[in-house]
C-alpha cells in the first residue's frame, strides 16, 4: 500500500474527530456518548451543555473518567476548576442568554487550560509571556 492512501485515510479520520468537539444536529447522537465524553475529558475539553437529557448522564460520566487521566499541570488547575464550575452553572442556567454568557467564559477558561498544559513555559502566574 502506498503512503498516499494511508495519509488520506488518516486525514479523514482526524477530520471526523475534529468535528466531534461540539455537537450539531447531524452528530449529536455520536457526540453525546460516554466514549466521546471520555475522549474529550482526556483532551481537557469543556462541556457546553449541548447533550439531550437522555444521554447527558452517560456523557458526563465519560467526561469525568477522561478528566482523571488528563495531564496535571499546577498552573492550569485554576482554569480546570473554573471550567468545572462554569459547566455546573450552564447546566443549572434557566435561560439561553445566561447559558451563552457562561459558554463564552467557559471557552476562555478551556483555551487557557489547554494552552498552559501544552506550552507550560509560556505561562507565568501573572499571565502569558
DSSP letters for 14-48:
HHHHHTTSS--TTTHHHHTSHHHHHHHHHTT----
Report CA-CA distances (Å) from 95 to 17, 53, 91: 30, 16, 10
Output the tens digit of pLDDT for each of the chain's 129 residues.
Answer: 444 544 344 334 444 444 456 677 778 899 999 999 999 999 999 999 999 999 999 999 999 999 999 877 899 999 999 999 999 999 999 999 999 999 999 999 999 999 999 887 776 655 555
Q: pTM (2 decimals)?
A: 0.75
CB within 8 Å of 107: residues ≥ 6 apart: 46
Helix (H, G, I), strand (E, B) or coil at 51: coil
DSSP label at 68?
T
* Spatial distance between the Cα atoms of 128 and 11, rounded to a whole number of angstroms: 32
pLDDT value of position 89? 98
CB 52, CB 32: distance < 8 Å = yes
Amino acid at each position: 500500500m502506498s503512503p498516499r492512501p494511508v495519509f488520506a485515510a488518516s486525514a479523514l479520520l482526524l477530520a471526523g474527530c475534529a468535528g466531534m468537539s461540539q455537537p450539531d444536529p447531524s452528530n449529536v447522537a455520536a457526540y453525546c456518548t460516554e466514549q466521546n465524553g471520555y475522549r474529550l475529558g482526556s483532551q481537557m475539553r469543556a462541556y457546553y451543555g449541548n447533550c439531550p437529557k437522555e444521554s447527558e448522564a452517560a456523557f458526563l460520566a465519560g467526561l469525568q473518567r477522561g478528566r482523571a487521566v488528563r495531564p496535571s499541570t499546577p498552573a492550569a488547575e485554576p482554569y480546570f476548576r473554573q471550567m468545572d464550575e462554569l459547566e455546573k452553572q450552564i447546566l443549572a442556567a434557566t435561560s439561553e442568554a445566561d447559558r451563552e454568557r457562561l459558554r463564552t467564559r467557559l471557552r476562555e477558561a478551556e483555551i487557557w487550560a489547554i494552552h498552559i498544559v501544552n506550552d507550560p513555559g509560556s505561562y507565568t502566574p501573572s499571565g502569558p509571556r
